[in-house]
Amino acid sequence: MDNSDFSGEQQAFRDAYEDTLTFLEARQAIKPLSVIDLEGELHHLTVYEGQDWGGRGPLKNAEIQGQISAYITVIDAMKGNN
């Protein structure tokens, strides 16, 4: 797919989403992940997302959103909500 139509924020989101999915799939192949563990990690990501007191900028925010979305995708799939 040609990504030239994406903005920097959209590309950061997509890259983080895809990288996080790949990371979670690799972890799952090594040791099965539990929904509870993933929900805990997701919770910490959302806390981190809300700690933007330093003004991290739109690219980092997009990256964090991509990671959060990947966790939600995996959790929903594990729960059968896909």
pLDDT digits (tens, 9 = 90+) for 3-57: 555 688 999 999 999 999 999 999 999 999 999 999 999 999 988 887 766 677 7
Q: Residue 46 corresponds to which tokens in the numbers above?
A: 């959302």
Q: Is 9 exposed, middle or buried (0-12, 13-18, 19+ CB in 10 A)?
A: middle
Report pTM.
0.83
Q: Residue 45 corresponds to which tokens in the numbers above?
A: 């990501």
Domain spans in the chain, listed from the N-terminal domain onward: 8-79
User: Within 10 Å of residue 63's Cβ, how many Cβ atoms?
Assistant: 21
Q: How far is CA 36 from CA 58, 64, 72, 77, in A?
A: 30, 20, 12, 14
pLDDT digits (tens, 9 = 90+) for 45-76: 988 887 766 677 788 889 999 999 999 999 99
Q: In whole angstroms, give the CA distance from residue 51 to residue 14.
A: 22
